Structure 1
């Protein structure tokens, strides 16, 4: 199992689903509820989401929602885990692709994947991988962004035969946080992402990992 596959497993396993689906029909129902939650979040943001809204959008009873999720926070956490899974799957493909002349170029593919998810994945630009949720106490020792950064660093080290020390990994983690923050800012008032801020994100990421990759 690769580092990215392991990270996907860890993040997905943390999703607080009340009843894990064991049949295809239940899996489809759960996916439909999360799709509905994502659609509502895409319209009004995650802060105003309610379980009643999820039920109404899915055409399901409120009891069906509570069969899988104890409350709205669980819906948000589960959707965050699915977002993380989809991000990591896309990153695995992007980092393994030919055409990256350097490890830095491969790292910048993370920016491209993130931008595409902001544009195409309903609700992603609001919730992302869930670190925006201010839940106390923390449910894990590592943030979702931290898990992604570790997986990316491991993938880069393996692909480009890099020996990464703690400071190198910190630089990569910082670059991932910069991508998350500046891409979110680029989409805050611009439906397709402010190109000036996206270019700035690319420049700052290069500067952050200069001498590391």
Structure 2
């Protein structure tokens, strides 16, 4: 989903411009990751730092993004796209599998330590609550709820219970990704059991 006009100065049309935007978003992601790991706030990701990390001038940065908030919004946009692509990849890649197997694959993929470090996940979740990003983050949550609801329905839950199960599962997976519920060494197996219990009733 494209970034909204409020958060992007110029939409890249040529390959070189698109590459520049991608480099800037990647540099922002890397700086946020480093700050999160040190327990520092996202506000320390200045446009000067981001431009230097990306290897572009500050003027080039401002051609595409008006400020740090716009860059962080672009990072969140990209991570939302990747999250839904992860989910759809699991579901399409295991389309013939039993719902139990799909649930296990999905739970393991979404809480995988290789997806996002917990500290960065917490930071991006907090940033996603801001007005300029809340709409996109909310839409992604709704889309993920729908996919999880479909899994619960496939397992035989009635529509009202499946809807509740889908949302509950998404919130649980978010907490697991933050490592707020279980520590990393035990999260995967126990998460699968928790998720399976919710989605199967």
TM-score if structure 1 supplies the norm length? 0.74
Q: 2:36 matched to 1:42? A: no
Name the structure where helix makes up a greater proportion of residues: 2
Aligned partner (choices 74, 80, 84) of residue 80 of structure 2: 84
CA gap 1:55/1:145 in 2 versus in 1, 3 angstroms: same
Contact kept, 8 Å, 1:129 with 1:144, in 2: the verdict is: no
5+ residue gaps, structure 1, are 1-8
* 1:83 CA displacement: 0.9
- Equivalence map 1:1-213=2 (5 Å): 9=1, 12-14=2-4, 16-45=7-36, 47=42, 48-98=44-94, 101-116=97-112, 118-119=113-114, 126-127=120-121, 130-133=124-127, 134-136=129-131, 139-140=134-135, 143-153=138-148, 156=151, 160=154, 165-185=159-179, 194-211=184-201
Contact (CA 8 Å) 2:99, 2:151: kept in 1 or not? yes
Number of matched residues? 194
Residue 24 of structure 2 contacts residue 54 of structure 2 at CA under 8 Å; is this kept in 1? yes
**TM-score, length of structure 2 as denominator length:** 0.78
How far apart, in 1, do the equivalents of 2:190 and 2:63 lie? 45
Gaps of 5+ in 2: none
Q: CA 1:128–1:105 in 2, change beyond 3 Å: closer, same or farther?
A: farther
> How far has the Cα of 1:144 moved from its partner?
4.8
